[in-house]
Chains A and B, each alone.
Chain A
Amino acid sequence: MFFSAIFDIGVVALRILLPVYAIIIVYQCYAAMRRRRRPETPLVTLVNPQTGLKLPVLFWENSIGRSRSSDIVVDDPTVSRSHCVLLRRSDGWFITDTGSKSGTYVNGEKIEERTQLLIDDVIGVGNSEFEFKRGEEYHERLDSSWFFRKVNNKPAIKSWKLMLMITLFHFFMCVEAMFWNDATNPFSPLVLFAALAGVEWAFFFVSSYILRRVNFELEALALFLTGTGVMLLVRQVERSAYVQLIAAAVGMILFCVIIKFIQNPDKVNKLRFPMMIVAVGLLLTSVIFGKTTGGAANWIYIGSISIQPSELVKVIYIFIGSSALDKLQTKKNLLEFIVFSIVCVGLLALMGDFGTALIFFMTFLLIAFMRSGDFKTIILAVAAAVFGATIILRFKPYVANRFKAWRHVWDYAQDQGYQQVHVLTFIASGGLFGVGIGNGFLKQVAASESDLVFGLVSEEMGIIVAITLALAVALLVVYARAITTRSRSTFYSISACCAAGLLVVQLALNIFGATDILPLTGVTFPFISSGGSSIISCWGLLAFVKAADERTYSMKR
């Protein structure tokens, strides 16, 4: 009796420790992202020889024009609102005219195409002239984004220390899983933990010593989430834990491939059309060959492997939606993208995968707004979507049937509300610190490790850990937005913000669907939910956030 009490105190202490530890890890990841920035100095300076006015050029891509929202505002009536774009590429600085009325001149010659600039060249726009000078010519202090401001001088935590913390967290999860109430297979979590730690550290070494990346915080955060999801599975369906780990490793490879693939923001533009065809092709395959699972025909089976093509299309969709600044200014028309989006959302609705369709639609709004800044487009799109939804409900009333338990789950506790009421009950049973890994009962409910994973985490690890994991994903938006102006092209800015936005929309649909705040649509919790295609796509999306950091492509010396 005395011994068992001592042992129980240890188990409880571990359960209380984990939430605190999870908060520390997430905090450390984001704290590290804020540090080690290059100082806030202009890249080059434009000097007006007549007035002596010095204009700092802060970004890799800068719009020049009369419009007050231009990066470099030229107060001259002969200059167009969006006159030209000054951009930096790996092989130097360039200037491109974006359909101005009076044209753009370099050293007195009118330019037709993208033209390289050298130091001391003279740029002519309208009646104004600027000399192209080095950044050091500008002496005033510049403000930086609040995310990077007021960071004290303590150096950021070393990446390997962060990795050690994360591995230790997963080890604690492993210990908890070993001492589960069932008391069978006590050592199987250890095997899984060893495999997980192997994958995590292998990725870390590849990233720092082969790819020679300067920073690892973003990957560390994703590894923390991924590993937590994998360890959670060991006491649900052990086989899926290994499937999840393998898929995560594939996701990490995809992560590296995508970063390499989008290295040149100009080349990317040519790949847009082929990628569209691939995306539509993938969706069509699932419409034609898809097997219906849980009301949505979004799975296709190749032998014993099942994949969800719509998950991979998310990555392509972000890729297609983003664009470099000069292309944005010359081609303001969204038509092509709108048509592509309608096709995607339509095909998803046809599969009955309304959750993913909604994610695509929200992402469409984000991309369309970031590209055009046009509220009219947004309002029109929302109106069209509401109209479309009404039509669907009018002619296919069984669709509404799927959602009739929404906000009334306790009245449908035996059928449509079954999953949600179990989630709520077991979240409440878990309290702040959870009942311990493997000791929950939500795992007996279908889809508990994917659609209902928020409830599973809450029950077994406590509501604090569940909310911390959710915030860790949601905060990606803050990071993506903070690095927006430090990206090498608007292509990365837009794709990073929209990829982070997509993850948050998906997160919201997952959590709120499981807890009956929104209808249950069956989407996954990014990085945590079990599901191979889902984890691969999350890592793929994360690549865009990583690519938006200008340091990603500069190698460690």
Chain B
Amino acid sequence: MKRVLRRSVLIFIITIAFIGGMCFFAFELLTNAEDWANQPYNAHIVGSGGLAQAGIIYDRNGEILAQTIDEKRVYNDNESVRKGLLHVVGDNSLNISTAIQSRYRSQLTGYSLMWGLNMPQSLRVSHDMKLTVDAKTCAVAYDMLTNYDKKGACVVYNYKTGEVICSVSTYAYDPGAPPEITEENESEYDGVYVDNVLSSTYTPGSIFKIVTAAAAIENIPDIYERTWNCTGSEEIGGSAVTCVSAHGELTFKEALAHSCNIVFAELAVELGSDKMTAEAEKVGINKSFSVDGLKTASGSYDVSNANTNQLAWSGIGQYTDTVNPMQMAVICGAIANGGTPVEPTLIKSSTNELLKSLNLTSNKSGKELFSPDTASKLDELMRYTITGYYGDDLFGDLKVCAKTGTAEIGNGKDPNAWMVGYSQDEDCPLAFACVVEDSGFGIEYAGPVAEAAMKQAAQCIRDQKN
């Protein structure tokens, strides 16, 4: 009998292994429970039974963007606001993964490891969130963008505080009634679940000249003494680089204002691929920026296999160059801010735990993108682009520095229209980036959207201060 007792230790070993396995599972549960629970198929959260338990989402002025009434998720009354903020707020289907309702679902629904999602409606502690966006600005930008019936994006953010005032992506749909996407209406909703502001990249075209200009300022000492003569077309590296028209004799400052392709193509070739790549890296073209911990899509500048002609085109934002709208807004914000950007954020206020977990308790400065000297020279150049070329009344009384772009994308499509920049005004420090796909000239398509959004955003900020 003693012998049998001793041998039964093997059963103990198995039981201890079982208890060890349970501990391992408990550990996995503790560390991953939130991820496990926040799945699109979790019927405790999604659908009518899910967001029904979520708190209210406000815009910066306390306007309700989404709330729950009688277990139904109800969005803003204004259709333009609803559609314009679709990609920021999200919808019932939770298909837009970067939207607030998808990302902070557990925060909004009050998930906790201890209580799970099991609290009855009347006892659940759901949390409200206040966003930095302005509903009116977004609606204005959306109306402008949607007039073209093109895909596009428009973002405006405060480069001193990081608050995103406007973030609109088209196409969009009404979040209160997510469409059933079928084969027939597929084209109408192409890429509709992607927030173009954060997650899309586009060929930059002439707005990339900001980067080439920065490289020239830093590497070519006599850049301001030089003049160029633009004849409308020039052979560089075996093929032609063309301008829309012959610009005639130009200084460096005028070349950027008139957006002369030949000047910047020549500069890119003169600087060479190493210096161009180094500048693009420094400015952050090849990296993604963080918005409340979410990574934007990263642009791309890669001339490792480019010949001279391709290098020339890369200097004016063609070739394989791509950038992301939020990325461009941050880069413009950095120029305005003396070279160093402030990280954008969408969250104005929420519970302390969330703010702490996102490290949002203070403004976060990013890495320096431009030296202060380069930034101030670019500031001057971009200001001249408005005052000397487009006219200073373009943005009303805002002192705006900007650059437009018209990016050829081929494939029988019209160019992408771009406008990026910022206002110098102390009382409304706003940087913006606006892109309209498959449209035309930057100033003609992106310009009006940027103008409307900037004016409305400025008014919003000034109203708040008064």
Residues of A within 8 A of B (CB): 1, 4-5, 8-9, 11-12, 15, 58-63, 69-71, 325, 362, 365-366, 369-370, 373, 421-422, 424-436, 439, 441, 462-463, 467, 470, 474, 477-478, 480-481, 484-485, 487, 490, 493-494, 497-498, 500-501, 504-505, 507-508, 511-512, 515, 517
Contact = CB atoms under 8 A, between A and B. Distances in A.
Given A484-B5, A493-B4, 18 more contacts: A11-B120, A12-B119, A15-B118, A63-B3, A69-B6, A71-B2, A325-B4, A369-B10, A373-B3, A373-B7, A427-B33, A428-B113, A429-B117, A431-B114, A431-B116, A441-B43, A485-B5, A508-B17
A521 B117 CA distance: 29
A425 B41 contact: yes
Contacts of A370: 4, 7-8, 10
Contacts of B32: 424, 428
A4 B12 contact: no
B34 interface: yes
A432 B29 contact: no
Nearest to A476: B15
Contacts of A5: 122-123
A439 B119 CA distance: 11
A431 B112 contact: yes
B7 A426 contact: no
Given A69-B6, A429-B42, A481-B12, A508 B21 contact: yes
A425 B42 contact: yes
8 contacts: A63-B1, A430-B118, A431-B112, A434-B116, A477-B14, A481-B5, A508-B17, A515-B25
A485 B18 contact: no
B18 A432 contact: no
Nearest to A329: B3
Contacts of B37: 425, 428-429
Nearest to B5: A484
Contacts of A477: 11-12, 14-15
Contacts of A373: 3, 6-7
Contacts of B24: 517
Nearest to A444: B43
A11 B124 CA distance: 13
A508 B120 contact: no
B115 A505 contact: no
A480 B8 CA distance: 10
Contact of B118 (A436, A441, A504): A436
Interface in B93-128: 112-123
A507 B25 CA distance: 14
Interface centre among B12, B43, B44, B117 (most CB of A within 10 A): B44
A66 B112 CA distance: 63
10 closest residue pairs by CB, A with B: A431-B116, A8-B120, A428-B37, A428-B36, A59-B1, A435-B118, A428-B33, A501-B11, A441-B43, A5-B122
Given A61-B1, A428-B33, A511 B14 contact: no
A490 B1 contact: yes
A151 to B, nearest CB: 20
B118 A8 contact: no
Contact of B5 (A4, A478, A493): A493
Contacts of B114: 431-432
Residue of A12, A58, A425 with most partner-chain B CB within 10 A: A425
B39 interface: yes
B278 interface: no
B11 A498 contact: yes
A517 B21 contact: yes
B36 A427 contact: yes
A467 B15 CA distance: 14
A66 B11 CA distance: 27
B261 to A, nearest CB: 47
A435 B115 CA distance: 9
B358 interface: no
A416 to B, nearest CB: 16
A517 B25 contact: yes
B8 A481 contact: yes
Contacts of B43: 441
B3 to A, nearest CB: 5
B394 interface: no
A428 B8 contact: no
Given A9-B123, A512-B21, A433 B7 contact: no
B121 A8 contact: yes
A17 B223 CA distance: 79
Contacts of B42: 425-426, 429, 441
Contacts of B246: none
A439 B4 CA distance: 48
B8 A504 contact: no
Given A8-B120, A428-B116, A505 B14 contact: yes
B119 A474 contact: no
B120 A62 contact: no
Given A69-B2, A427-B36, A504 B14 contact: yes
A345 to B, nearest CB: 18
A527 B289 CA distance: 54
Contacts of B14: 362, 366, 477, 501, 504-505, 508
Contact of B29 (A369, A463, A500): A463
A421 B40 CA distance: 12
A441 B44 contact: yes
A444 to B, nearest CB: 8
Nearest to B124: A8
B220 interface: no
Contacts of A494: 4
Nearest to A434: B118
Contact of A497 (B1, B3, B8, B115): B8
A493 B10 contact: no
A12 B120 CA distance: 8
A264 to B, nearest CB: 18
Contacts of A11: 120
Nearest to B36: A428
Contact of A421 (B39, B120, B121): B39
B36 A485 contact: no
B294 interface: no
B19 interface: yes
Contacts of A425: 36-37, 39, 41-42
B22 interface: yes
Contacts of A480: 11
Given A428-B36, A497-B8, A500-B11, A435 B3 contact: no
B91 to A, nearest CB: 21
A470 B25 CA distance: 13
Interface string B111-155: 011111111111100000000000000000000000000000000
A58 to B, nearest CB: 8
B36 A424 contact: yes
Contacts of B39: 421, 425
A429 B37 CA distance: 5
A10 B330 CA distance: 53
Contact of B123 (A12, A365, A366, A505): A12
Contacts of B120: 8, 11-12
B1 A429 contact: no
A431 B6 contact: no
A439 B36 CA distance: 18
Given A5-B123, A369-B7, A474 B18 contact: yes
B4 A490 contact: yes
Nearest to B39: A425
Contacts of B118: 15, 429-431, 433-436, 439, 462
Contacts of A430: 116-118
Nearest to A460: B118
B120 to A, nearest CB: 4
Nearest to A487: B1
Nearest to A67: B3
Contacts of A60: 1
A377 B33 CA distance: 42
B115 A432 contact: yes
Nearest to A3: B122
A432 B25 contact: no
